[in-house]
């Protein structure tokens, strides 16, 4: 196995329950994002370079299509979607979420994880709250 990890190593390093890891590994293999290697020296590895795997691909492999509201996934399912004032907001929000997930690739997350391990964030709840309130007022 080249540049791979054992399942036990992943469980140990991430605290992800082993049963859940088995389930999502199957989903990720099916989506062509990881490869598995059997045997005592086996484990799993990315099927593609880390710079070409984004969070949208991973989440959709595990959860299915990303959807903030069902009306965005299945138009006309809701009889109000043509007159609903929130429909456009859901569409913009979904577009922003999808764009962020597409732009977040694994190699950049690995770089950030290494940086944060050496330089943990400081918990600054006041600035987080101010930032959240500012963003909320921009939508209203």
What's the confidence (pLDDT) of residue 118?
92
What's the confidence (pLDDT) of residue 127?
61
Structure tokens at 92: 């913009």
Instruction: With beta carbons less than 8 A apart as the criterion, state whether 68 and 74 touch.
Output: no
What's the confidence (pLDDT) of residue 139?
46
What's the confidence (pLDDT) of residue 6?
86
What's the confidence (pLDDT) of residue 74?
83
Residue 42 CB-half CA count within 13 A: 7
What's the confidence (pLDDT) of residue 123?
72
State the residue for tokens 């996934």. Answer: 73
In 3D, which of 1, 99, 4 has the Cα closest to residue 54? 99
State the residue for tokens 């209203």. Answer: 140
Q: Average pLDDT of each block of 10 consecutive residues along the chain (140 residues)?
A: 76 88 93 91 91 97 91 83 88 94 96 91 66 48
What does pTM read for this prediction?
0.78
Long-range contacts of residues 13-18, Cβ cutoff 8 Å, at least 24 apart: none
Q: Which domains does the chain have, with CATH numbers?
A: 1-47 (1.10.10.10), 50-122 (no CATH)
What's the confidence (pLDDT) of residue 42?
79
What percent of the chain is modeled with pLDDT above 90?
A: 45
């Amino acid at each position: 196995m080249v540049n791979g990890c054992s399942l036990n190593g992943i469980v140990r390093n991430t605290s992800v329950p082993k049963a859940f890891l088995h389930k999502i590994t199957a989903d990720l293999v099916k989506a062509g994002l990881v490869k598995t290697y059997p045997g005592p020296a086996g484990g799993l590895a990315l099927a593609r370079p880390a710079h070409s795997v984004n969070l949208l691909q991973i989440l959709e492999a595990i959860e299915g299509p990303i959807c903030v509201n069902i009306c965005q996934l299945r138009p006309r399912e809701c009889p109000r979607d043509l007159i609903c004032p929130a429909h456009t907001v859901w569409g913009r929000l979904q577009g922003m979420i999808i764009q962020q997930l597409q732009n977040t690739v694994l190699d950049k997350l690995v770089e950030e994880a290494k940086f944060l391990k050496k330089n943990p964030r400081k918990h600054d709840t006041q600035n987080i709250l101010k930032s959240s309130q500012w963003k909320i007022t921009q939508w209203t």
